[in-house]
Amino acid sequence: MNGFFIVGTDTHVGKTWVAAGLLRAYAALGLRVIGMKPVAAGAVLQDGVWVNEDVALLTAASTVRAPAASINPYLFREAIAPHLAAMHKGVRIEIPRIRAACESLMADADVVVVEGVGGLLVPLSARQDAADLAVALALPLILVVGMRLGCLSHALLTTEVIAVRGLKLAGWVANRIDPEMHAYEENLDALASRIPAPLLASVPFLPACDTERMAATFVPRRLVGLLG
């Protein structure tokens, strides 16, 4: 094992920022790192090339270079659910193709950080979802909890799905996406007592992307311990 699968309690909870911060934190320990976004929905045309913001952020935080087709096997222009974006484009998201790309990245890096899409049960096709992809990649999961009203149920439902699917939860990150959230510490304690994995970082509200500051929230010895 030389990687992690980053899953969120929902979309827009900071998965990409956490993944990029994790990459920078491991790079600071002298490890060769690369980020992967198997499925990305939403792209803009830049200099004749379709670019997804999340993929670009992960690439910038990586120290290992790889072909774009390996880093991001499926890129869709529409910012909609991936199975719908694939249907509109007339393609099918194939998990074996993603797994082959991930394995190629693992051959060249010490740590591969794979960012999922949306929540854990987001459909990828008529019969498969993001949890099926996590099972196929067989990587430990890191759960990003978007700390806001309603996060308790979202987080605990996700941890139940992780257990039901036989996945390993390596740890979780509390990402404060709502600076006005009431009883933040009490909510944090409620999750810490119920999620069966260590809290890896409690990230303060960040009004803009700052992967260096995100990386600084991780304790180096904990990161080393995750690698076994």
In the chain, where the domains are located:
3-227
Segment 115-135 shows an average pLDDT of 95
Question: d(Cα 79, Cα 82) in Å, to the nearest integer?
Answer: 8
pLDDT digits (tens, 9 = 90+) for 61-74: 999 999 999 999 99
- Position 209 scores a pLDDT of 87
| Residue 37 pLDDT | 98
Angle, vertex CA 166, rays to CA 162 and CA 168, nearest 5: 65
Looking at residues 149-157, what average pLDDT do you find? 97
What proportion of the chain, given as a percentage, has pLDDT over 70? 100
- Mean pLDDT, the chain, as a whole number? 95
- Using alpha carbons only, what angle is made at residue 74 by residues 19 and 116, rounded to the nearest 5 degrees? 30
Global pTM reads 0.95
| Active-site entry in 15, 37, 89, 168 | 37
Residue 37 known to be catalytic: yes
Tens-place pLDDT, residues 40-56: 999 999 988 999 999 99
Confidence of residue 221 (pLDDT cuts 50, 70, 90): confident
Q: Is the pLDDT of residue 228 over 80?
A: no
CB-count exposure of residue 30 (10 Å: 0-12, 13-18, 19+): exposed
Q: Looking at domain 3-227, which CATH architecture does it have?
A: 3-Layer(aba) Sandwich (3.40)
